[in-house]
Structure 1
């Protein structure tokens, strides 16, 4: 099963904004699928992953110190519901 959140290529500000819109739509239509249902829990998970993603990016030769729009999308994707396909 495909998911538009993973099909969308994040290459610039506009595509990142579209990604955030899709993220919002999914949360509204599928809140029970989200592990982090409150903003405090969501931001805690987001902050934890953001601290740790440097190691992952270094392992795949991406410079996390100069992030691109796709980097921000990758950070958000990691806190998506567990049943999403193609989860990093």
Structure 2
């Protein structure tokens, strides 16, 4: 496994595991209850650092989320936020 992509596999796996029983998890039974087309992670793709990336930090063409994105994150139904600024936690 690529050492730089392991978190991209581990965290989503934890969130769908019945055995681990992670709070807020989304498993097969949830998807059977109805439309689940929007359960995923949020990634803000950008071409360069400009006004579309409020934190003004980009890595691999993805805007790094910071405190500037709190209102956006509060309104989104996504389970994961991809690329969060370390100081934001």
Q: Please tell me the TM-score bracket, short chain as reference.
A: 0.3 to 0.5
Pair member with larger Rg: 2
Structure having the larger proportion of residues in strand: 2
Structure having the larger proportion of residues in helix: 1
TM-score by length of 1: 0.34
TM-score by length of 2: 0.34
